[in-house]
Each structure stands twice: as C-alpha cells, then as structure tokens.
Structure 1
Amino acid sequence: MEGPPMTASVTTPVQKKWLENRVSALKEKVRLLFEDSKDIIEQMNLVDTIQHLGIGHHFEKEIANTLRKIQHMEFNTSSLHEVSLRFRLLREHGLWVSPDEFNRFMDTNGSFNMEMTNDPRGLLSLYNAAYMFIHDEALEEAISFARLHLESMRHNLKYPLSEQVNRALHIPLPRTARRVETLHYMSEYKHEREYNPIILELAKIDFNNLQQLHIKEIEAISKWWKNLYAEVALSFARNRIVQLYLWSYAVYYEHEYSCARIILTKLLALITMMDDIYDTRATLEESQKLNEAIKRWDESVVSILPEYLKKFYLRILRTFKEIQDMLAPNEQYKVSYAQKSFQTLSNYYLQGAEWFHCKKTPTFKEKVEASLMDSGGPFSCVALLVGMGDIASKEALDWALGCTGAVRACGEITRYMNDITALKHGNREQDATNSVECYIAEYNVASEVAIVNIYRMVEDAWKTLNKDLLELGSLRPAVRRVINVTATLTLMYGDKKDIFTFGDDLESLITRLFFNPITI
C-alpha cells in the first residue's frame, strides 16, 4: 500500500485525507468485483469473504442483491462445500433454502455418504451450515456426522483450515461473535485460495478506523461509569464497564450505531448494578421497596428507600433522561419501552429474591418462566433497539417488549448457559436455586443428565432464533441484532465458565479489539 507513513493512529490532516481517498477507491474496486463476478461460486465466496472480514456494512445493497440472485439461480453441483455455503449464506440473511439440498450427499438409507469424509473443507461448511436449522429439520445428523470426522482429522489439517475447524468445533460459525471471527480471519485470509489483496487492505483500514471510534466511546463511557460508581457508592457491585461495552460492540460495531452502543452499554450497566443489589446486598424488605420505587418511577418516591439505595435510584431516573435527550424528538418515545422493560426486569429480580429469602425451590417451569426474564436477555433485546434509528420501528419495539419467539429464546439461552456455568463452578452463597438445580430436584436426575437435557433446550431456542430470522420479514434487521446479542453468550459462558463476572480472560481479547491496531 503506497501513501504517507501510517502510525498506530492516523492523526495528521494529510494522513486522514489520504486514508479517506484510499478507502473510497478500495470500496469502488470491491463494488466492481460484485459487478464482474458472474459465476455463482465466485459471488458466494465474495459475499462470504466480505462478511468474514467485517466489511459487509459497506456493501449491504450489493450483498442483498447478490444473494437474491443466488437464491433463484439454478444450482447444480456435487461440491459439499458449495451447497453448504449457499445454504448458510441464504439462511443467515433470512432467505429460504430447503434442507433437501443435502439429500444429494446421502445414500439410499438416508445416511451421509462416507466419501465425504475425505473433504474437510466441505465437512466444515456442512457443520456450520447445519447450525442454521429450524424446528422439524433433521440436520442434527449432519452436525454429528461432520463433527465426528472433523475431530478425527483436526490434527492433520493444514493452516488455516486447521484453525477454522478448531474454532468451529468450539463454537460454530453462526453462533460466533462475528467481530472476534474477523480478528482471526484477517490473519488467515491471505492463505485462502480466493485471496484478494484489495479486500484485505480495505478490511484492515476499516478495522483501524472503527477502532479509533470505539476507543473514544470506551473513554466516554468509562468516565460516565466512574462518576456513577463513585456517586452511588455500591462497592459490592461489579465494576465491569469495558466488558459491558464489549457486549454492546458485539451487537453492532458499525459507525452509524455509535449512539446505540453508548445507550445499550449504559442500560446494561444499570441492570448489572440492580442485579447485584437484589442478589448480594438487599434484604427482602429493601428489595420490595426498591421494586416499588422503580414501579412508580418518580423522584419523590426516593424517601421510601434505605439510605444506601437513594442515590442509585436517582441515577436510574437521570440516566433514562440522559438517554432520552440523546435521541431526536420523534424518537424519544422509544425510551419508554426500555423503561417498561426495566420495570418488568425489576419485578422478576424481586421474584427471585422472594424465593431465595423464603428458601423456596420453585418447579423447573416456574423457575424458567421467571429466570429467562431476569437473565437480562429480553431487556437487552429492547434496549439494543432504542438508539438504532429506523430499524427500531414501533413494530420492532412492540415485538421486543412482548418477549416472544427470538426474544424469549435469547432469554432462555442466557439463563441456561449462565446456570450451567454456575453449577459447574458452584453458586455464590447469596444465589438462589438456579434452573439446573430445580430440574435436578424435580426430576431426581444426576447433574450430568440435567445438563444434557438443558443443552437440548438451548438447541431448541437457537432453532427459534433461526426461524424468526426466516419468517419475520419486516423485523429481520431487529432479529439479526437479537441473534448477535445471543451469540455473545457463547463468548461469555461458552466454556461453562463465567468470564464476564469472575475472570480476566476477556482482557486479551479486549486489547486486540480496541487497543491494538491491525498492521497494514
């Protein structure tokens, strides 16, 4: 790449101007690739590469047009990789493609042909594609078949396929936090057979440009949090603001969602602190008073609260007003949806506190109905929409607040993964009986059996997410972001380890994402 010397951060006017011109030129060259790619395989690889490298937001129109054409083009191929790639790409964008496409790779008994076991790239593509399944689709066999053979060959594969297989076996691509995948793929892409230096250069520059914006946002949100944390003086509450920002960033990293990221991070910070109050400090009477104050939503109610909660309550009200002021007048009504969801969440936190203080073990069904809500997942699905502009239509906000389909599935996955993690590492003394323990008590089974059965429920919830992506046309952009927030759970809890609450394992990833520019 020719031009003025590039440092870790571009600061001089000459560098900035040159970089702007370079980005414009590269984007135009990539657009020409879309126009020049007539072959369906080239088109699919182009879309997949651009998405993997995290620059799909620059080419949304081109990608949508290309995939619509691919959906309706005749597609006759004996390549497992190509059939699987087409299936995954179309389904990821909410476009229907039948699982019958995979029948061509099965024998007369309905089992996958063993000759496919000599095609690791095809098996990897099948494995990732099959995770886009919905209810009543028999793709579990595809996952089991691909996993079995990928595991047997994983140590004999060449780079970068070996790394991609290892990552997928850990977390399948459709459930991976995409920005994390981008970090990996930028170092791998030059070794791919479809390598194009133009695309990689654009991806690297774009990553670094966005990283500078993300750093500024982290600085601003950290300052806000430091002031809030000092003011409310709740030292027992988790101090994890950068990790919360990471959660928001995983939902949307694009430039146009800067306001949305700030809003979502602030709201996540409030519910994390509120969760810690109900869980670790408040008595039952104090919990009831806090919930009553949140229900009434008025500064005058502060008098009913214990002294140590008064400043926190006032900061809740002030923060919601701050968020409202960040929005255009015609969008300020959206904050009322976040407020209603916040009040609902407080009700469910109180329900958990009552069970804990009364030493009640609810039935598994009772526990799930309450704890999928107090997981914070459904609240996040409402909160993430508040700053999203046109995507956050009244229809989308009503859908999110109604907690059906994908939103409910997000809450279920959040709760199940969190509780499986808690069971493995031991509940904190102040934690109520979780959903896994309720299952064990009600059905009198070993913890291993309970966990296996609950993982089946996780899989069922993922099918619901995929189903809504296919079926809710006008809400598809909102569903996509709900899937993004759900995918962060595999990052936070994927190893049966709560790295959000207890670990420093995220520090290396945070450094790479936000503080280490990509070498160009």
Structure 2
Amino acid sequence: MASIYISCPGIGFARPRSHETGRRNIQGIRKQLYSTNPTTMAVTTDDTSVLRRSANYPPSLWSYDFLQSLTNNYYLSEKYETKLDGLKELVKTMISECNVMEDTLSTLELVDDLQRLGISYHFKDEIRNVLKSVYMCYFDGHVNYWNKLDLNLKALGFRLLRQHGYRIPQEIFEDIKDETGNIKVHVGDDIVGVLNLYEASFFAVVDENILDEIREFTIQCLEKKLEQDDIINIGKQSSMSMLISHALELPLLWRPQRFEPIWFIEAYKRRNDMNPSLLELAELDFNIVQGIHREDLKYSSRWWDSLGWHKKFSFARDRLVESFMWAVGASYQPSFSVLRRNITKLISLINVIDDVYDVYGTLDELKQFTDAVRRWDTNAIEELPDYMKICFLGFYNTINEMAYNTLLANQEILVLPYVKKVWADYCDAILLEAQWFHSGYTPSLDEYLKNSCVTISVPAILSNIYHITSSDLTGEALQNIVHCSSMILRLADDLGTSTAELERGDVPKSIQCYMHETGASEEKAREHIKKLIIQTWKKLNQETMSAAAKYDPSASEIFVECATNLGRMGQFTYKDTDVFGTPDDLYKSHQISLLFTPKS
C-alpha cells in the first residue's frame, strides 16, 4: 500500500553569517513576540491558573441556523438535469465540428473558454482528442511549423498542451528574440498575444530561462498598457483592461479552478463573440453544482455543531464555512462530495489544534498532547486539562471514523496506521515551533521550511484523503508533488499572515528568518519569498507532467488536482492579508458568490 509520509526536503539554502541589519530587524520582532499588548493577549483562568494568550479572532460570520436553512431549486431537479444534458450534447457537437487544421486558434479558444467557464470536466474525452490533433499537426517535432505560427496561437497552444501533459519545448518562442538575445520590441504591440504569452510563461519547468524572460517582459508590457490606459478592445476581447488586471492579480495557473468561473462567466457575457449555449450551460452547471455544495456544507455544519468545538474553544478560529471553501477549492466537481466533506473536517480540526499549539496551550500541555497523539491512546490524556481532553477525543474519534469509513468502502484498505504516523509527525512539528517560540530561537530559512512544510498541514490532509481519490501515484513522484504544494501554501501563507501572527505572538516566519539570516530588508525578503514560489511552481509543473507520462492520468489526476489546488487556495486566500483568520468584506463576497448566490 502506498504511503505519503512527507520528509519535506529542504530547498538547499546555505546559512550565511547574520548581519547587523538582520539582528536589528529580529530584535524588533522579538519585542512583538513577547509583547503583552492587551489587543493580542488575554488572561484566562482554569484549574491550573495559568496565563493564556488569545489571538482575538472574530466569531464566525455564518450561524448554524442560517446554514441549515439553505435551499437550492437546482439540486436534484429533473427539469434542470434534463436541460443540462441537452446543452452538453450541443457543446459536444460544437467541439466535434471544430476544424483543427483550418481554424486552430478558434478550436483552442473554445477549449480555453470551456475551462475558464468551469464546464470542461463534462468534455474530458472530447478535449483530449482535440488537443491531441493540435499537437500532432503543429507541435510534434515539426520545428519548421513553429516559426510560421501566429504568436497568439503559439502561446495559447503551448499553455493548453502543457497543462494537459504535453512536453512542448520552450524553444518554440525563440523566434520572438532578436540577434542580441532580447525579446523584439514589436512583440508588445500584440496585446492579446502578450496576454496569452504571459499566461503561458507560468507553465515553465526548472531551468527554462526563455520563459523566465518572457514572464518578465510580458508583465512589464501589460502593466505599461494599464498605466497608459491606451488599450484598444480587439475583436473578441471587449474588456481587455479587465482581463489584464485579472491576469496580473493572479495568473490562471495559480487560480483555484472553482473560483475562476465566478469571475469569468461575467466577463464572458461582455464578449462580442459570446456563445449563448456555452453561457447557458456554464450558468446552469454552476447553479446545479452549487446546490450540491450547499448540501455538503449543511452536512459539514451539522458535524461541526455536533463536535461542539466552536462552543468550547473561544480562543480558536471558528471557520467552518471558510474550511469548506478550501474543500471546494481543492475539489469542486459534483461527484466528490465525500472528498469535500472529509477535507472540511480535516481543515476544521487543524485550525483548532494549530491554535492550541500556537496560542493557548502551555509548553508542558503541548508535550503531553503530542505524546498522546504519538501513542494514539485515550489513556494518555488523563493528566491533561479538560479543554485538551475534549480536543484530543474529538480529533481521535473523527480520524478513526474517517479511517473506518474508508475501510468500509474498500475492505482492502486499512489507512489508520498511516494516518496515525502522519498526525504524530504533524504534532511533533508544531510542538517544535512552540519550543522555538518559548526559547526565542530563530531558525535558518532552510530549517524553518523543512519543519513548516509539515505544519502547514498539506501532508496530513492529503494522507487522509489519498485513498479516496483512488490515486496510483507512489514513491518519489507522490512525495515531490505533496512537498511542492506544501511549499507553495506555506510561502503564500507567510506572505499574507506573518504580520498578524507576529503581532499576536508567534515564531518568525520565512520572511523574518531570511531577514535574520541575510540582513535583508523586509521588502527584499518578501521579493525572495515570491521568487521561491515561482521556483516551486516550476518544480510542480515538472512533477505533474512527469506523473502524467508515467501514471494513468484517469487514476492520478484527482489527487494531483487536489494537491495542486491546496497550493492555489493559499495564493488566492493570502495574496493580500490573513482573510482566513479575519475575513474582510471582499472575502465575504467570495463566500457569497461561491456558495449562496446562483448565477443568472
């Protein structure tokens, strides 16, 4: 049986001598860490009469009664299902009538629209066949064809084919460079081509310098176009400035798959070439799937209310709906309800356990709790305070039940020995962070990342849902994909949350570790972390393409998408600040659009 214990190998940074600037920076951080600011500290007295901290998280935005009152006219509606089936047949005909040789660009644009509208999962076989034809016609070693291709066609084809596992070489873009090796200035005149070239550049793998240059060049071009406000709406693209702003905010590769249609359906309505059947299918499918998500959310809400942690642990994050958003972001397709419900449980448990270790528990209590998890023994909690007994038993019962349900569904799979080990590793890692905090220790960036790729909890989540996805990924490929997703989420989380976490008292994050290690300013440190994210995406791109070539795509793609989407959710959630811990109005609007408002 495959296991996915994640050793989280380091990035391999050297540990340079600390500089005076770094020491001054970290001294300021220390003052924040050990501050008794009343806005971030609270005294709670229990039977042991100890001083405890609080992060002062706001309460949940969504009540149990509200969530249970949710209805959806599209859920299990025979009328809408029949209508959906009719529209799907229309689109299948549309795809089958595409002439790859005569109108390759329109064919690729249709595939792109289907993906961004969130309905491509209905047409996997049709899309696979179309892209195979495009590859055979233009990209399968036909070097003489590359230079003849229109820039827009070449960039869009490169992105879509790489996304679907084809190893298209970066050298197809060599013709856009001049004799000096620089990208030709006139390339920037084709705004649609530049936008697709920008999106294509993020599908780079390790050591692809041409795509690095393209990414920098296209970012400059697109930003300049927006600043000059001289964008001419071209043909099919009736809102280029909106498309460019959206792309610069996050490239398509980095966006969670379920959230893109929320935005793109509205943008598609403005298109001069909008196809009414495609739009109708996208809106109807969104509403039907939203109805399924609501039922999953109602189930999750009942589970959370029954667990009772939101009533017992006022110091911790009550983020059931936010956790469910992450589950939808990880796997939105209608047939994966069990996957979403389990991910919601796992993230909800992790939120509270993380807050116990980071905020509320004493170091002695945390050591005892960690020991109980290692032993997976309810007898080990007798000496713990009552709040920890409740935490351990709720956690223990939930994980055991999930393991039981997996065994019930497939009698050949006993996952409990594996997940027990993963949870012990997780608690060991967050205990180490607590020890760093209490001792005032600042790790090197390499040391921090090795540990925090475990504490970010991606290995724990994916280990618990691995067998539900029926994945056949094993060994190094499995380890590397999980590690890359962990790294992306960790670095994105640090960029968005480190300020708030330091203010309430927490260990230095990757930004501060790099500052301490190199003497860099915070601005330079943040730039370094952003570069690490790009480097990690290159490794992930390489691993997913390799996995697609080695393993059965139909068996591995659910797990790979789920793993990748957890990293994407980190970039989507934390791109500005910690809106998971303290949701703002924009994040609330995302929740409303995703779960509570049908498309019309």
Alpha carbons of structure 1 residues 362 and 326: separation in structure 2 relative to 1, 3 Å = same
- Alignment partners' CA distance in 1, 2:564 and 2:463: 13
- Alignment partners' CA distance in 2, 1:291 and 1:498: 27
Alignment of 1:197-236 (within 5 A): 197-230=276-309, 233-236=312-315
Shift of 1:351: 0.7
Greater displacement, 152-161 / 360-369: 152-161
Alpha carbons of structure 1 residues 231 and 116: separation in structure 2 relative to 1, 3 Å = closer
- Alignment partners' CA distance in 1, 2:425 and 2:394: 18
- Alignment partners' CA distance in 1, 2:412 and 2:579: 35
Say whether the 8 Å CA contact 1:263–1:386 is kept in structure 2. no
Say whether the 8 Å CA contact 1:469–1:480 is kept in structure 2. no
Query: Which structure: greater helix fraction?
Result: 1
The counterpart of 1:18, out of the listed 58, 71, 79, is 79
Alignment of 1:91-240 (within 5 A): 91-138=162-209, 139-154=211-226, 155-157=229-231, 158=233, 159-192=238-271, 194-230=273-309, 233-240=312-319
- Alignment partners' CA distance in 2, 1:485 and 1:331: 28
The counterpart of 1:372, out of the listed 447, 453, 465, is 453
2:158 counterpart residue number: 87
Shift of 1:232: 7.2
Which amino acid in 2 is paired with 1:278?
A: Y
Which amino acid in 1 is paired with 2:396?
A: L
The counterpart of 1:33, out of the listed 82, 86, 94, is 94
Say whether the 8 Å CA contact 1:232–1:311 is kept in structure 2. no
Q: Secondary structure at the match of 1:112?
A: coil
Shift of 1:301: 2.2
The normalised TM-score by structure 1 is 0.91
Q: Secondary structure at the match of 1:236?
A: coil
Alpha carbons of structure 1 residues 335 and 208: separation in structure 2 relative to 1, 3 Å = farther
2:468 counterpart residue number: 387
Shift of 1:110: 2.1
- Does residue 531 of structure 2 align to residue 468 of structure 1? no
Say whether the 8 Å CA contact 1:257–1:387 is kept in structure 2. no
Which amino acid in 2 is paired with 1:264?
A: I
Q: Secondary structure at the match of 1:37?
A: coil
Which amino acid in 2 is paired with 1:149?
A: C
Shift of 1:386: 4.2
Which amino acid in 2 is paired with 1:432?
A: V
Q: Secondary structure at the match of 1:387?
A: helix
- Alignment partners' CA distance in 1, 2:185 and 2:423: 53
1:282 counterpart residue number: 361
Alpha carbons of structure 1 residues 17 and 366: separation in structure 2 relative to 1, 3 Å = closer
Greater displacement, 443-452 / 333-342: 333-342
- Alignment partners' CA distance in 2, 1:239 and 1:214: 20
Which amino acid in 2 is paired with 1:140?
A: D
Shift of 1:246: 0.5
1:449 counterpart residue number: 524
Alpha carbons of structure 1 residues 217 and 492: separation in structure 2 relative to 1, 3 Å = same
- Alignment partners' CA distance in 1, 2:316 and 2:594: 26
- Detail structure 1 runs of 4+ shifted over 6 Å in the superposition: none
Say whether the 8 Å CA contact 1:30–1:199 is kept in structure 2. yes
Provide structure 2 residue ranges, at least 5 long, that are not aligned to the other structure: 1-70, 140-144
- Alignment partners' CA distance in 1, 2:83 and 2:152: 34
Say whether the 8 Å CA contact 2:74–2:287 is kept in structure 1. no
Q: Secondary structure at the match of 1:62?
A: helix
Supply the RMSD in Å over aligned alpha carbons: 2.2
- Alignment partners' CA distance in 1, 2:488 and 2:410: 35
- Alignment partners' CA distance in 1, 2:164 and 2:383: 50
Shift of 1:467: 0.7
Say whether the 8 Å CA contact 2:429–2:452 is kept in structure 1. yes
Which amino acid in 1 is paired with 2:132?
A: R
Shift of 1:499: 0.9
- Alignment partners' CA distance in 2, 1:67 and 1:84: 14
Shift of 1:337: 3.7
- Alignment partners' CA distance in 2, 1:136 and 1:432: 33
Alpha carbons of structure 1 residues 24 and 423: separation in structure 2 relative to 1, 3 Å = closer
- Alignment partners' CA distance in 1, 2:271 and 2:177: 28
2:389 counterpart residue number: 310
2:42 counterpart residue number: none
Which amino acid in 2 is paired with 1:37?
A: C
Shift of 1:483: 1.5
Alpha carbons of structure 1 residues 354 and 518: separation in structure 2 relative to 1, 3 Å = same
Deviations 1:5-47 (A, max 9, x none): xxx943799xx33322221111111111221112232321221
Higher RCO, Cα 8 Å, sep 6+: 2
Count of residues paired in the alignment: 503
Shift of 1:130: 0.2
- Alignment partners' CA distance in 2, 1:114 and 1:384: 49
- Alignment partners' CA distance in 2, 1:331 and 1:62: 34
Q: Secondary structure at the match of 1:361?
A: coil
**Percent pairwise identity:** 28
2:426 counterpart residue number: 345
Q: Secondary structure at the match of 1:238?
A: coil
Q: Secondary structure at the match of 1:427?
A: helix
1:70 counterpart residue number: 134
